[in-house]
Homo-oligomer: A and B are copies of this chain.
Amino acid sequence: MNLAWHDVDDLFAALGDRIRLRLACCLLAVPTGACVCELVDALDESQPNVSRHLKVLKAARLVEERREGRWMYYRLCQPDHPLLDSIRACIATVCRCSDVQEDVRRLRTRLDLRRDGKCVFGTAMMPSRSGRRKGGERRVRLPLVH
């Protein structure tokens, strides 16, 4: 199979951003996918920003999305090209060898809040590192029971 230049450098450019690389590592750690608010809490970045960066990853065909009610789940695409296998190996190495471990740990904690394997909370359920959320108090919200 022949790759267009267009696709190839977009692939690397997509990973050439800290936030997107962190997202990719998180998604590699959760093969079935994570929803936006879970990723927002894992990275402690704003929701619009996470959403934007996920869009870039999607445009590069690194991730795919599926809607489930109000939640959008993103996961890494299945590698359908040797290059994607190599890219995946890179992401795995970054996962192993960098401080992205913290993000993954926060993500796992967040995933513990799921009910029946599904996200039932919005964002702002995690203690913030950066004090981004004003007031600082954790919003208390009851889980939606389906």
- What is A's interface to B at a CB cutoff of 8 Å? 1-5, 8-10, 12-18, 21, 81-83, 86-87, 89-90, 92-94, 96-100
Contact = CB atoms under 8 A, between A and B. Distances in A.
A16 B13 contact: yes
Majority-rule SS of A interface residues? helix
A12 B9 contact: no
Nearest to A82: B93
A119 B62 CA distance: 41
A99 B4 CA distance: 7
15 contacts: A1-B97, A2-B99, A5-B21, A5-B98, A8-B98, A9-B21, A12-B12, A12-B90, A15-B16, A83-B90, A83-B93, A86-B86, A86-B89, A87-B90, A89-B89
A18 B12 CA distance: 10
A129 to B, nearest CB: 15
